[in-house]
Chain A
Amino acid sequence: MRDFVQNFPLFSIILCLVSSSASSLLKGKAAKWVNTVLICVVGAMSLTLTFYCLAHGSFTYTMGHVPAPWGNEVRGGVLEGAMGTFFCLIMLLSMTGGRKKLLEEVEDTKQNLYYILVNLMLCSLIALVYTNDLFTAYVFVEINTISACGLIMIRQNGRTIEAAVRYMIMSLLGSGLFLVGICLLYDITGHLLMSNIKESVQALVESGQYGEPLLIAIAFMMMGLAIKSALFPFHAWLPDAYGYSTISSAAILSSLVSKGYIFLLIKIIYRVIGFEVVRESLLLNVTFVFAGLGIIFGSISAMREDDIRRMVSFSSVAQIGYIYLGISLGTQVGMVAAVFQILSHAATKSMLFISAIGLTDASNTSRKFKDLTGSAYRNKIAGMGFAAGALSMVGIPLFSGFISKLLFMQAAVANYGKMLPTMIVLAISTILNAIYFMKTVVRIYSPERDLYKGREGFKVIHTREQIEYTCTVILFIALNVALGLCSEPILELIGKGLEMFA
């Protein structure tokens, strides 16, 4: 009889599934409450799990009466727990922040369907975080993809549907590659369970047989996940999908979905292939190049946008490039930096989206910069949120972005081979970030033009009209500052978790 806490991964996954299928019977309001309670409960479970693992170390949990490698298995560790908690937190905030727009933009008969999608999304994220079995990962990746597509096209206009199609096409390519990678790996190792695969991969590497298949398998899996998480050449679907879907979806997609895949990739690198093997293979250099290109390209095209939400979306192309940069530095420090960047970017980007919608609401729902002039005076709290997010993105001290910038510097300095390119890329992207975010902040805080005075739609939104929204933004800012100030324990946590991975 094991500790009761160890059942929490199973319980949270089952809870998500049952509540999602139950929501299909409920009305929108009830589904909303179910969803909120669900997210809170799952987050609480993951938090408990984190502390349990800090105390007792990681554990594996056999799904069924037969032990691994015969049955499925999930694994609980510090990093898994922390990630689960964080995902729940961000998802809760994004949902509460976008509630009003949700009521406007989604047909009222389809509200509960939206919450079903969100529940399933949460379920798949949690499963991706906890799973210890590659094929299970594949199945839940599919759930994640389909529900993400649903989140994109729930607000139905031409753009979103086209974006959903593009997204589906790219993700399906990714899934295909991922599946073939799994098959090849299964063929040469004979296992689907992460830890067993790792053992036999080590054996193969020592015996030196099946060299090409192993390399190709790793390459396919990495490429598949890279496509799904919109690494640079495969980001065509991203701006429309983030820019035109309803705001909660945009926040969730940008801050959680791609991060879930990246976390899965990190998990595969550590627990399936082995960090050394990956480093030996030259794949990391390839991702390094793409990440660098992605950073620069994303920043440049963000600078050329005149639409606030598309600008924020393009900047997340650049940020994902940062994460891959950290991974492909191929050092422990770089990996820590990447994981912290996942956290920081998730917090910041969802805050930016949520505050951007506040600004556009105060400007007659126009997203062009010329209309947004002075919108920060019309909607104070949203302006604060956006300014904070922008400062964090630029990397001002006391915000989370500063810490991740420092970590990347550290990692780059630690790795002589890739130091100079990393430095140059970081320099360019820093200055570009500063340009387009500061431009926006100056714009929204400059006095509004006279021709907009008193035009309908350009009205001041008081705080008392948007209590929920205000609380959300304040919580987001607090989260950012907390990440920026109390980075040390979090970094220790990440370090511990990565050790537990290996």
Chain B
Amino acid sequence: MKKRNLFSSLLDWVWESRSDLYENMTIRDDDEEVNVITKAEHKEDIEKVKEKVFDAADRGSFRKWRFLYKILAVVFAVFFSAVLLITVGQLPKIGEINNPANNEVEKRYIEKGLEETGATNIVAGMILDYRAFDTLGESHVLFVAAIAVTILLRLDKSERDPEDTKITETITEAEEEDKIFEPHHDAILQKVAMLLVPIIILFGIYVILNGHLSPGGGFSGGAIIGAGLILYLNAFGFENTERFFNEKVYKTVIFSGLAFYALAKCYAFFCGANGLDSHISKGIPGHILSAGLILPLDIAVGCVVACTMYAFYAMFRKGGL
């Protein structure tokens, strides 16, 4: 690949005349329907298909159309942003205290928030107590995304016929492929990881536990812990992580976290809506063990998010935990 200066590569990026991503990726093939082909073959194959689909006569017009397309795209973007700018021009000024957005709702959140939720972090109190329904949905968005990714990427042996050759070949091939990324007793990486991973995970736990007192909370903390796990995986490989983290653990954690979240919130909503007293003490504001349900919910969300992040990585890498 010839060296190009920054500007020209930027230009290429914009005009897509050639895409780095596309050029540099190794072409690997994993199923029978599309036979193994080199890049050149693939190119001319595409050309053939194009001939087939748009007849050869108007290839030139086809190219023209591609060019026109780009122009139109820019025009569209300009027009769209113009519309938005006109809108913004009519919006209330930023930062004014008497904007419509700053109304009784946020006053109450700030004034009563502490005593009603017991959380000094008003945002945490808001998303986990006042508007907890949204957050419940949000955590399930993550869940359903994880499920969809699993459907797409998980390779597993069929139970109907365990010696289904195609799928087993695919799995072994994927693992072979994965060996490329496996560490080969990379001393530096492993030592640094041994140093860093505990710190990262500890920090994540700290962020989770202080979600109701300081910036942070379940999601961010969980993401940090996930990052720690991924670093560990990269340093020590699957056979080490599988000892303490396999699919079963993953499923159990996800289920228990989400189910606990849903049921606890259901209880809270039920009591609140029917005017019953949910015997959940608010505790002393500012202490770790305070703010009623917020702390346990944070922990649950944290576990779920950590596992999901790790699972995403593992799926992307070799199609399975």
A contacts, CB < 8 Å to B: 1-2, 6-7, 10-11, 14, 17-18, 20-22, 24-25, 61-66, 69-72, 107-110, 113-114, 116-117, 120, 123, 127, 133, 135-136, 139-140, 142-143, 146-147, 149-150, 153-154, 156, 158, 161, 184, 186-191, 200, 210-213, 216
1/0 contact string of B246-257 vs chain A (CB within 8 Å): 000001101100
B116 at the interface (CB under 8 A from A): yes
Could you list some 24 contacts between A and B, CB below 8 A? A1-B275, A7-B270, A10-B266, A17-B136, A17-B262, A18-B258, A20-B140, A63-B269, A64-B130, A64-B272, A65-B116, A70-B108, A72-B133, A72-B134, A107-B158, A110-B154, A113-B147, A114-B151, A127-B137, A139-B138, A149-B148, A153-B152, A184-B87, A213-B87
User: How far apart are A19's CB and chain B's nearest CB, in angstroms?
Assistant: 10
CB contact between A21 and one of B154, B262, B272 (< 8 Å): that residue: B262
Most chain B CB within 10 A, of A63, A114, A139, A190, is at A63
Contact A7-B83, Cβ < 8 Å, known A136-B137, A186-B101, A211-B90: no
- Beta-carbon nearest neighbor of B33 in chain A: A158
Which chain A positions have C-beta within 8 A of B133? 63-64, 72, 133, 136
CB contact between A109 and one of B83, B132, B158, B262 (< 8 Å): that residue: B158
Q: What is the bound-complex CA distance between A65 and B112, given in angstroms?
A: 13
B140:A17 contact, CB within 8 angstroms: yes
Q: What is the bound-complex CA distance between A21 and B84, given in angstroms?
A: 40
Most chain A CB within 10 A, of B83, B137, B140, is at B137
B contacts, CB < 8 Å to A: 33, 83-84, 86-87, 90-92, 99-105, 108-109, 116, 129-134, 136-138, 140-141, 143-145, 147-148, 150-152, 154, 156-160, 251-252, 254-255, 258-259, 262-263, 265-266, 268-276, 278
CB contact between A212 and one of B86, B100, B156 (< 8 Å): that residue: B86
CB contact between A65 and one of B87, B137, B147, B271 (< 8 Å): that residue: B271
Interface class of chain B by DSSP:
helix
Q: What is the bound-complex CA distance between A268 and B262, given in angstroms?
A: 27
B137:A150 contact, CB within 8 angstroms: no
User: How far apart are A350's CB and chain B's nearest CB, in angstroms?
Assistant: 22
A61:B100 contact, CB within 8 angstroms: no
Interface class of chain A by DSSP:
helix
B91:A187 contact, CB within 8 angstroms: yes
Most chain B CB within 10 A, of A64, A143, A187, is at A64
B254:A24 contact, CB within 8 angstroms: yes
A143:B271 contact, CB within 8 angstroms: no
Which chain A positions have C-beta within 8 A of B140? 17, 20-21, 120, 123, 143
User: How far apart are B161's CB and chain A's nearest CB, in angstroms?
Assistant: 10
Which chain A positions have C-beta within 8 A of B102? 190
CB contact between B148 and one of A20, A72, A135, A146 (< 8 Å): that residue: A146
Q: What is the bound-complex CA distance between A150 and B143, given in angstroms?
A: 12
A21:B255 contact, CB within 8 angstroms: yes
A70:B109 contact, CB within 8 angstroms: yes
Most chain B CB within 10 A, of A10, A72, A189, A211, is at A72
CB contact between B137 and one of A109, A117, A139 (< 8 Å): that residue: A139
Q: What is the bound-complex CA distance between A316 and B272, given in angstroms?
A: 43
Which chain A positions have C-beta within 8 A of B154? 110
A71:B130 contact, CB within 8 angstroms: yes
B144:A117 contact, CB within 8 angstroms: yes
A210:B159 contact, CB within 8 angstroms: no
Which chain B positions have C-beta within 8 A of A71? 130-131, 272
A188:B100 contact, CB within 8 angstroms: yes
Given contacts A64-B129, A66-B130, A120-B147, 11 further A-B contacts (CB under 8 A): A10-B273, A11-B266, A14-B265, A62-B272, A64-B132, A69-B105, A70-B108, A107-B156, A135-B131, A158-B33, A212-B86
Which chain B positions have C-beta within 8 A of A25? 251-252, 255
Which chain B positions have C-beta within 8 A of A184? 87, 91
Q: What is the bound-complex CA distance between A66 and B33, given in angstroms?
A: 59
- Beta-carbon nearest neighbor of A3 in chain B: B274
User: How far apart are A272's CB and chain B's nearest CB, in angstroms?
Assistant: 15
- Beta-carbon nearest neighbor of A161 in chain B: B152
User: How far apart are A186's CB and chain B's nearest CB, in angstroms?
Assistant: 6
Contact A24-B255, Cβ < 8 Å, known A17-B262, A120-B144, A147-B144: yes
- Beta-carbon nearest neighbor of A71 in chain B: B130
Q: What is the bound-complex CA distance between A142 and B141, given in angstroms?
A: 7
Which chain A positions have C-beta within 8 A of B84? 216
User: How far apart are A463's CB and chain B's nearest CB, in angstroms?
Assistant: 27
**10 shortest interchain CB distances as A-B pairs:** A65-B272, A139-B137, A72-B133, A190-B100, A21-B258, A150-B148, A14-B266, A190-B103, A64-B272, A63-B133
A64:B158 contact, CB within 8 angstroms: no
A117:B87 contact, CB within 8 angstroms: no
A2:B273 contact, CB within 8 angstroms: yes
User: How far apart are A366's CB and chain B's nearest CB, in angstroms?
Assistant: 19
Q: What is the bound-complex CA distance between A19 and B95, given in angstroms?
A: 45
Which chain A positions have C-beta within 8 A of B262? 14, 17-18, 21
Q: What is the bound-complex CA distance between A140 and B133, given in angstroms?
A: 10
Which chain B positions have C-beta within 8 A of A147? 144, 148
Which chain A positions have C-beta within 8 A of B109? 70
Q: What is the bound-complex CA distance between A64 and B273, given in angstroms?
A: 6
- Beta-carbon nearest neighbor of B265 in chain A: A14
Contact A187-B137, Cβ < 8 Å, known A18-B259, A64-B129: no
Q: What is the bound-complex CA distance between A393 and B152, given in angstroms?
A: 36
CB contact between B130 and one of A70, A143, A210 (< 8 Å): that residue: A70
CB contact between A216 and one of B87, B143, B152 (< 8 Å): that residue: B87
User: How far apart are B314's CB and chain A's nearest CB, in angstroms?
Assistant: 16
Which chain B positions have C-beta within 8 A of A20? 140, 143
Which chain B positions have C-beta within 8 A of A64? 129-130, 132-133, 268-269, 272-273
User: How far apart are B174's CB and chain A's nearest CB, in angstroms?
Assistant: 15
Which chain B positions have C-beta within 8 A of A21? 140, 143, 254-255, 258-259, 262
Which chain A positions have C-beta within 8 A of B131? 71-72, 135
User: How far apart are B299's CB and chain A's nearest CB, in angstroms?
Assistant: 16
Q: What is the bound-complex CA distance between A216 and B85, given in angstroms?
A: 11
Q: What is the bound-complex CA distance between A490 and B251, given in angstroms?
A: 44
Contact A72-B132, Cβ < 8 Å, known A146-B148, A187-B91: yes
Contact A108-B159, Cβ < 8 Å, known A24-B254, A72-B132: yes
Which chain A positions have C-beta within 8 A of B148? 117, 146-147, 149-150, 153
Which chain B positions have C-beta within 8 A of A158? 33
- Beta-carbon nearest neighbor of B167 in chain A: A107
Q: What is the bound-complex CA distance between A380 and B103, given in angstroms?
A: 65
Which chain A positions have C-beta within 8 A of B99? 187, 190
A22:B259 contact, CB within 8 angstroms: yes
- Beta-carbon nearest neighbor of B266 in chain A: A14
Which chain A positions have C-beta within 8 A of B263? 14, 18
Q: What is the bound-complex CA distance between A143 and B269, given in angstroms?
A: 21
Q: What is the bound-complex CA distance between A140 and B141, given in angstroms?
A: 8
B255:A150 contact, CB within 8 angstroms: no
Q: What is the bound-complex CA distance between A212 and B268, given in angstroms?
A: 41
Which chain A positions have C-beta within 8 A of B273? 2, 6-7, 10, 61-64
B160:A108 contact, CB within 8 angstroms: yes
Which chain A positions have C-beta within 8 A of B92? 187-188, 210
Which chain A positions have C-beta within 8 A of B156? 107, 109
